Amino acid sequence: MASENLPQGSTRHCLLQPSSSLIFPMAFVLSLLTALVLVSYGPGGSLGCDLSQKHVLAGRKTLTLLDQMMRLSPHLCLQDRMDFAFPQEMVEGSQLQEAQAISVLHEILQQSFSVFNTMHSSAAWDTTLLKQLRTGLLQQLANLDDCWEQVIGEEDTALGRMGPTQAVKRYFQGIHVYLQEKEYSTCAWEIVRVAIRRSLSSSTSLQERLRMMDGDLSSH
CATH number at residue 94: 1.20.1250.10
What percent of the chain has pLDDT above 90? 43
**Does residue 111 belong to any structural domain of this protein?**
yes
Q: What is the pLDDT of residue 180?
A: 97
Candidate ranges 36-50, 72-86, 95-109, 176-190; pick with highest mean pLDDT: 176-190
23 residue type, one letter: I
In a domain, residue 5? The reply is: no
Burial of 188 (0-12, 13-18, 19+ CB in 10 A): buried
| 73 — pLDDT class (breaks 50, 70, 90) | confident
Residue 181 lies in a domain: yes
Within a domain: residue 31? Answer: no
| Domain boundaries, position 152 | 53-217
Sequence-ordered list of residues with C-beta below 8 angstroms from that of 38, at least 6 positions apart, any chain: none
In a domain, 135, yes or no: yes
Query: What confidence score (pLDDT) does residue 218 get?
Result: 46
For residue 217, the model assigns a pLDDT of 45
46 assigned to some structural domain: no
* 20 inside domain: no
- Asked if the model's pLDDT at residue 82 lies above 80, the reply is yes
How sure is the predictor about 189, in pLDDT bands with cuts at 50, 70 and 90? very high
pLDDT tens digits, one per residue of 8-37: 444 444 443 434 444 555 445 544 443 443
Average pLDDT estimate for 177-203:
95
Report pLDDT for 7. 40
In a domain? residue 35: no
Residue-wise pLDDT for 126-178, tens only, equals 999 999 999 999 999 998 887 777 777 555 554 454 588 899 999 999 999 99
User: How much is the pLDDT for 154?
Assistant: 55
Task: Report the number of distinct structural domains present in the chain.
Answer: 1
Backbone angles phi, psi at 199, to 5 degrees: -70, -40
d(CA 47, CA 68) in angstroms, rounded, equals 32
